[in-house]
């Protein structure tokens, strides 16, 4: 049976490996464009927006539309959609995925995705692992996708078996066309705890920061600090609200830490406590040096 499948793949893809990408936004589109540069890959893509599908075809970024009829041709499937949609797609198409295929999601949270997806994969006999490419832009959508998005960037993998060296080596090989700078391995829980601080909190702070009425007059009075702090304020509210709610406990804990520290600075200002303020600022600078070395 497996030999027959491989023969069919060879006929349709001329011996190439086949990548299936679900969701052609910034992340999925960038995967498509990076794999399109690799000679040994054939690419099938699908987006719920049919206009995007047709554009990707016309641009020759994909070789065909990913459908129920050709899912079984894929060696690697990347789920580049929102968490709930990733689980739903996998559940709906699980019986069509080849036993020797690998499925990775690209969602920004892992516990709510990996749990059900591990179960689905076990039930149907294929390989699934959680994935999170640590790259992005503050613009979303296929038109902002680029083959360079992942070059040199970290990729986080959440396997079901933490010490499965053969699986991790296979995933690293399958992801080679994206040119990630590093691949790290962790658990779903640890991923979500860290990402609440490194990504989600930063988006909340940036988005809240620009709500100051003073922001309207920033032009001519702002430079690098303003640009750095507000870069991710312009976000996809539907996606980020789902990610925040999926990781609400971790994110609320980080917000509580931040609010507590901000209150310390405000209290020092209210008291006109220069020495206390200097201590707070020195502690923050020292902490930055300790963390980033």
Cα–Cα nearest to 127, from 161, 156, 89, 88: 161
Length of the chain: 293
Q: Are 123 and 151 in contact (CB under 8 A)?
A: no
CA pair distance 10, 149, nearest whole angstrom: 30
Confidence of residue 18 (pLDDT cuts 50, 70, 90): very high
Q: Are 33 and 55 in contact (CB under 8 A)?
A: no
**Residue 168 CB burial class (10 angstroms; 0-12, 13-18, ≥19):** middle
Question: What percent of the chain clears pLDDT 90, i.e. is strictly above it?
Answer: 84
CA pair distance 66, 72, nearest whole angstrom: 10
> What three-state secondary structure class fits 19?
strand
**Residue 218 pLDDT > 90:** no
Q: Are 106 and 79 in contact (CB under 8 A)?
A: yes
CA pair distance 200, 241, nearest whole angstrom: 10
CA pair distance 152, 155, nearest whole angstrom: 9
**Residue 200 pLDDT > 90:** yes
Confidence of residue 14 (pLDDT cuts 50, 70, 90): low
Q: Which domains does the chain have, with CATH numbers?
A: 2-186 (3.40.50.720), 192-292 (1.10.3660.10)
Residue that wins the pLDDT comparison between 222 and 121: 121
Give the pLDDT mean for 50-69. Answer: 96
**Residue 6 pLDDT > 60:** no
**Residue 7 pLDDT > 80:** no
pLDDT tens digits for 121-138?
Answer: 999 999 999 999 999 877
pLDDT, position 2: 43
**Residue 27 pLDDT > 80:** yes
Q: Are 56 and 45 in contact (CB under 8 A)?
A: yes
**Residue 243 pLDDT > 90:** yes
CA pair distance 63, 58, nearest whole angstrom: 10
> What three-state secondary structure class fits 57?
helix
pLDDT tens digits for 82-115?
Answer: 999 999 999 999 999 999 999 999 999 999 999 9
Give the pLDDT mean for 29-47. Answer: 96
Q: What is the enclosing helix (H) or strand (E) of 102?
A: strand 102-105
Give just the sign of the alpha carbon dihedral 102, 103, 107, 109. negative
Confidence of residue 222 (pLDDT cuts 50, 70, 90): confident
Q: Are 78 and 94 in contact (CB under 8 A)?
A: no
């Amino acid at each position: 049976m497996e030999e027959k499948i491989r023969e069919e793949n060879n006929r349709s893809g001329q011996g190439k490996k086949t990548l299936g990408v679900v969701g052609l936004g910034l992340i999925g589109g960038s995967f498509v464009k990076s794999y399109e540069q690799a000679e040994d890959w054939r690419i099938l893509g699908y987006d719920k927006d049919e206009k995007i599908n047709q554009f990707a075809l016309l641009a020759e970024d994909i070789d065909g539309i990913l459908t129920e009829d050709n899912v079984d041709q894929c060696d690697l499937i990347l789920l580049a959609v929102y968490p709930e949609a990733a689980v739903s797609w996998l559940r709906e198409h699980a019986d069509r995925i080849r036993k020797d295929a690998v499925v990775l999601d690209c969602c920004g949270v892992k516990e709510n995705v990996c749990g059900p997806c591990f179960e689905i994969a076990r039930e149907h006999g294929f390989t699934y692992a959680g994935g999170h490419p640590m790259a992005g832009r503050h613009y979303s959508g296929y038109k902002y996708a680029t083959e360079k998005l992942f070059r040199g960037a970290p990729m986080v993998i959440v396997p079901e078996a933490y010490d499965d060296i053969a699986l991790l080596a296979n995933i690293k090989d399958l992801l080679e066309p994206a040119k990630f700078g590093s691949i790290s391995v962790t658990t779903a829980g640890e991923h979500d705890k860290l990402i609440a601080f490194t990504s989600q909190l930063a988006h909340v702070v940036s988005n809240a920061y620009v709500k100051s009425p003073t922001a309207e007059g920033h032009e001519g009075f702002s430079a690098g600090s303003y640009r750095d702090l507000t870069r991710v304020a312009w976000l996809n509210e539907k996606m980020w609200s789902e990610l925040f709610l999926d990781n609400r406990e971790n994110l609320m804990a980080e917000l509580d830490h931040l609010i507590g520290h901000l209150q310390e600075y405000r209290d020092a200002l209210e008291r006109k406590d220069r020495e206390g303020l200097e201590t707070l600022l020195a502690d923050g600078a020292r902490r930055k040096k300790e963390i980033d070395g």
